[in-house]
Structure 1
Amino acid sequence: MTLSFRVNGAPLTLDLTHLIVAGWTGRDADAIAHHIAELAELGVPAPSDTPLYYRVSAPLLTDAPLIEAVGEASSGEVEPLIVEAEGKRYLGLASDHTDRALEAHSVAMSKQVCAKPCALELWEWDEVAERLEEIELESWIEEGGDWVPYQSGTIASIRPLTELIAGSRLSELAKDGPVAMLCGTFGAKGGVRPAAKFRMQMRDPKTGRSITHEYETRTLPEVA
């Protein structure tokens, strides 16, 4: 999958070789327990360890404004996105869209069956490295024709991103070519639930810069 990113207005076209979804990355033990309990209500088994690094197909990462999912049990999650290519590192924005029904049987498989929407704008890592934990992420879902706040938090709520990079062996994998990793999320206000439209934003409070992306999910019939 070729993605035409932009960095400070300049094009950066990448063909990803590896894509990782980091899960259970909360820094606060109580927050992790809350998220595990939140998903347990959907029948999702507790993880064997935290964090976990799920390898998924690289072409799943997409900037498409419309994705498709089988059934009505999938939902998005706003997450920081790390991209490494040609010796440089970038920070971006993505959604770990996941099939919640399949997640109850296998988290790894549930990650694999859904596209991972992302924004095409990236920030150079060195420009934000000293204030990563101040960066804010938010998401909204459309319910009843209105945009409803769904998630919010700062990267400080997630394990240090450098720790996730080391744990996932991201830089080692980057020797094969461009790689990307979704880095975990926050609890959902009102509980995890599906929505046809999902909007997300990452904001740097120091500069006021923000990255946004919005996408729609088309439900395909679940045929047995």
Structure 2
Amino acid sequence: MIGATQAEMAIDRLIVAGWTGRDAATVEHHIEELAALGVAPPSQVPLFYRVAASLLTQEPCIEVLGDHTSGEAEPLLVQRDERCWLGLASDHTDRALEAQSVAASKQVCAKPCADELWDFAEVEGHLDALELRSWIASGQGDWTLYQEGALAAIRPLGALRTAGGLSDGAAMLCGTLGAIGGVRPATRFRATLTDPVLSREIALEYTTATLPVIS
């Protein structure tokens, strides 16, 4: 949905940008933390992972294999008809597989996204002020704040758009903020992207259904 107008946008190329923190020291610290867990460091920073376009979904429930997956709230850029749009998505990732291959861990999970987009030109001048938040819950438990911060902590989206080669018909998840209390799985995920300048918000909420691991 674009403003009050509903429109369908076919996406034929999906990119997941990683290691997009603006503070180089923080990114390096995170790389070292993951290396201690067996996750190989990225070949470059930032890094642009190519995943199947069909993974992007607006379904309210996604199926995942096992109980080691988790979501991450991320700004979403969509390029269509020579215009750029900003939305909200979750880079749901298999954390167990991540230790073997970050690229594979991203490919095996759907990427839920909100059904609303903003014209990028309307927010381009105050992108750093936009606020990203997420919450997690398991079962019927209460929501717990999981991520919170401004897009000022992420590399400028315009620069990521260029570096990632965002072309017509493509979409890109642009990286995220650190998890409060550490990355952990949950069966329910909720996120918002708030524009305090234009007083509006995009919201996303989904659940996960866990498939059994058969060996």
TM-score, structure 2 normalization: 0.96
1:188 aligned residue: 179
Q: Could you say which residue in structure 1 is the equivalent of 2:205?
A: 214
* Distance in 2 separating the partners of 1:196 and 1:76: 10
**Per-residue deviation, 1:116:** 0.2
Please, which of 107, 116, 119 is the counterpart of residue 111 of structure 2? 116
Matching of residue 89 in structure 1 with residue 84 in structure 2: yes
Out of 138, 155, 159, the residue aligned to residue 159 of structure 1 is: 155
Which residue of 46, 52, 75 corresponds with 1:51? 46
What is the one-letter code of the residue matched to 2:68?
Answer: A
Q: Which amino acid aligns with 1:55?
A: R
Describe how 1:1-224 pairs up with structure 2 within 5 A. Answer: 6-40=1-35, 42-143=37-138, 145-171=141-167, 174=168, 178-224=169-215
RMSD (Å), alpha carbons: 1.2
What letter corresponds to residue 163 of structure 2 in structure 1? Answer: G
Gaps spanning 5+ residues in structure 1: where?
A: 1-5
Shift of 1:138: 0.2
Contact 1:42 / 1:100 at 8 angstroms: preserved in 2? no
Distance 1:185 1:191, change over 3 A: same
Shift of 1:34: 3.6
* Contact 1:203–1:209 (CA under 8 A) maintained in structure 2: yes
Structure 2: which 5+ residue stretches go unaligned? none
Q: Is the alpha carbon distance of 1:208 and 1:39 closer, same or farther for their aligned partners in structure 2, counting shifts above 3 Å? A: farther
Report the CA distance between 1:37 and its aligned residue. Answer: 3.9
Find the counterpart in structure 2 of residue 3 from structure 1.
Answer: none
Aligned mates of 1:27, 1:58 — CA distance in 2: 27
Q: Percent identity?
A: 57
Question: With structure 1 as the length reference, what TM-score do the two structures score?
Answer: 0.92
Deviations 1:166-200 (A, max 9, x none): 111113xx2xxx21000000110110000000000
What is the number of residues matched between the two proteins? Answer: 214
CA contact (8 A) 1:38 1:191 kept: no
1:182-220 per-residue CA deviation (whole Å, 9 max, x = no partner) reads 000011011000000000000001122001011001110
CA distance in 2, matches of 1:26, 1:10: 33
* Residue 13 of structure 1: how far off its partner (Å): 0.4
Query: CA, structure 1 residues 207+108, in 2 after alignment: closer, same or farther (shift >3 Å)?
Result: same
Where is the strand percentage greater, Structure 1 or Structure 2? 1
Cα displacement (A) at 1:126: 1.1
Paired with 1:135 and 1:102, the residues of 2 have a C-alpha distance of 32
Kindly state the Cα deviation for residue 42 of structure 1 after the two structures are TM-superposed.
4.1
Distance in 2, Cα, partners of 1:99 & 1:41:
18
Output the amino acid matched with 2:131. Answer: E
Deviation at 1:148, TM superposition (A): 0.4
